């Protein structure tokens, strides 16, 4: 699963062969959450509240890039790295 960003202890990933709806995975310590790109809702898993806030803040800034990566992944193309939060 390609890592697309890493910041403040969060690792953001996107699987190549993954199910709908379009989403991304966030790992933080021993936690993992899955976020739907269109709504930014956590649809699976559990994250500490601060990690969840940071993940959503980052994703709102980079929604278009996440959507583009999801499209690339469906075509088997290389997923691009996305800038972390500063």
Residue 4 reports pLDDT greater than 90: yes
Residue 1 reports pLDDT greater than 90: no
Domain count, the chain: 1
Residue 63 lies in a domain: yes
- Look up the domain containing 37 and give its range: 3-74
The pLDDT, as a whole number, for residue 17 is: 82
Residue 17 lies in a domain: yes
For the record, the structure tokens of 9 come out as 């202890």
The DSSP bridge partners found for residue 23 are 36
For the record, the structure tokens of 86 come out as 């500063």
Residue 82 lies in a domain: no
Instruction: Give the pLDDT confidence of 9-28 residue by residue, as tens digits.
Output: 999 999 988 889 999 999 99
Query: Rounded to 5 degrees, what are φ and ψ at 12?
Result: -105, 130
Assess contact for 47 and 56: CB atoms under 8 A: no
What distance in Å separates the CA atoms of residue 11 and residue 39, rounded to the nearest whole number? Answer: 20
Instruction: Give the pLDDT confidence of 29-65 residue by residue, as tens digits.
Output: 999 999 999 999 999 999 999 999 999 999 999 999 9
The pLDDT, as a whole number, for residue 5 is: 98
Residue 84 lies in a domain: no
Residue 64 lies in a domain: yes
Residue 86 lies in a domain: no
The pLDDT, as a whole number, for residue 16 is: 84
Assess contact for 60 and 30: CB atoms under 8 A: no
Instruction: Give the pLDDT confidence of 67-81 residue by residue, as tens digits.
Output: 999 999 989 899 999
Residue 45 lies in a domain: yes
What distance in Å separates the CA atoms of residue 72 and residue 86, rounded to the nearest whole number? Answer: 25
């Amino acid at each position: 699963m390609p890592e697309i960003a890493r910041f403040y202890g969060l690792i953001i990933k996107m699987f190549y062969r993954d199910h709908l709806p379009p989403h991304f995975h966030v790992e933080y310590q021993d936690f993992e959450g899955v976020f739907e790109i269109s709504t930014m809702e956590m649809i699976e898993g559990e994250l500490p509240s601060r990690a969840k806030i940071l993940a959503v803040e980052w994703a709102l800034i980079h929604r278009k890039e996440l959507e583009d990566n999801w499209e690339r992944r469906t075509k088997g193309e290389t997923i691009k790295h996305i800038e972390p939060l500063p």
